[in-house]
Amino acid sequence: MRLGETLIFLGIPKNPIYLSGESVEEYLEAIYKINEEGRPAKNSELTKNLKVSPPSVTQMVQKLSDEGLVVYEPYKGIYLTGKGASLAQKVVRRHRLLEVFLHDVLKLPREKVHDQACRLEHALNEETTQALCSFLGNPDKCVDGKEIPHCGLEVESCEDCEPQRVGGLRTELSRLRPGEQGRVVGVKGGRRSSKRIQDMGLTPGTVVKVVNAAPFNGPVELEIRGTKLALGRGLASHVIVELEGSEEDYNRPFTRGPVHR
């Protein structure tokens, strides 16, 4: 019996394919960029953008949902949870920093930096990303004018990042979905916003749970120390929270569906 026939006889696909951490990042990044426009992602958009088959997208979205990284609403679309957003922002941050480096430092043509950044973004670890950010002068925008996600650390300058670099899952409070909770680690923005937020009890170390929130607009209803609080989405976007777990929890192979190349 040939090897292929033996594998099939044993119930093992002839060409078994595994979902790597890299493919998870690709999907989260693609969903993030669509959500960034203020709308849920459609399966058809992921099929087109990632150049994979519709069944593959369906399988992966289900897996991401099982992992608590996305919420899928039939006939509406897909949007990231707080954990999904925090992981996606790490990838998008690396990608957009690389675009700035390739364009501004290495002087590559603008039309070539995106593809090159796609190839390099999965290889950078947290330490290298922070070093690159510091080297570039902590840029706010990529070459296309899109926002580079905040590193999620409450620091005055890039030099202060190293002591706090722990690879945690951090994102804006406004990105958390109902049922998710996190610990406040800082507030970004001006002093006025910071004071107003802290006056509401959202001080560093405070555990907050999202009770209710629409995906892209409207206030965020929170529970803090047993008390309910409604926070405008604009203010909630200034609050950085740390979620349970770390990036390493999701940096592992998933044995379901194809790998996007």
Question: Contact at 8 Å (CB) between 120 and 67?
Answer: no
What's the predicted TM-score (pTM) here? 0.80
Task: Name the one residue in this structure whose structure tokens are 């080297």.
Answer: 135
Number of H helices, E strands in the chain: 9, 8
Question: Residue 135: is its pLDDT beyond 90?
Answer: yes
pLDDT digits (tens, 9 = 90+) for 4-31: 443 333 333 333 333 455 689 999 999 9
Question: Residue 203: is its pLDDT beyond 80?
Answer: yes
Query: What percent of the chain clears pLDDT 90, i.e. is strictly above it?
Result: 61
pLDDT of residue 22: 66
Residue 14 has which token pair?
Answer: 């002839």
What pLDDT band is residue 38 in, cutting at 50, 70 and 90?
Answer: very high
Top-confidence residue, 11 or 186: 186
The segment with the largest mean pLDDT, out of 89-98, 120-129, 244-253, is 89-98
What pLDDT band is residue 153 in, cutting at 50, 70 and 90?
Answer: low
Count of CA atoms in the C-beta half-sphere (13 A) of 204: 9
Top-confidence residue, 11 or 174: 174
Question: Cβ neighbours of residue 221 under 8 Å, at least 6 residues apart?
Answer: 210, 211, 212, 213, 228, 229, 230, 231
Which residues face 175 on adjacent strands?
none
Calpha distance 50→15 (Å, rounded): 21
C-alpha 17: how far from chain center: 24
Alpha carbon separation from 108 to 113, 122, 260 (Å, rounded):
7, 20, 26
- Average pLDDT, rounded, for the chain: 83
What pLDDT band is residue 164 in, cutting at 50, 70 and 90?
Answer: very low
Which residues face 230 on adjacent strands?
221
End-to-end CA distance of the chain: 32
Question: Contact at 8 Å (CB) between 177 and 71?
Answer: yes
pLDDT digits (tens, 9 = 90+) for 111-123: 999 999 999 998 8
pLDDT digits (tens, 9 = 90+) for 41-90: 999 999 999 999 999 999 999 999 999 999 999 889 999 999 999 999 99
pLDDT of residue 7: 32
What pLDDT band is residue 254 in, cutting at 50, 70 and 90?
Answer: very low
Structural domains in the chain? Answer: 170-248 (2.30.30.90)
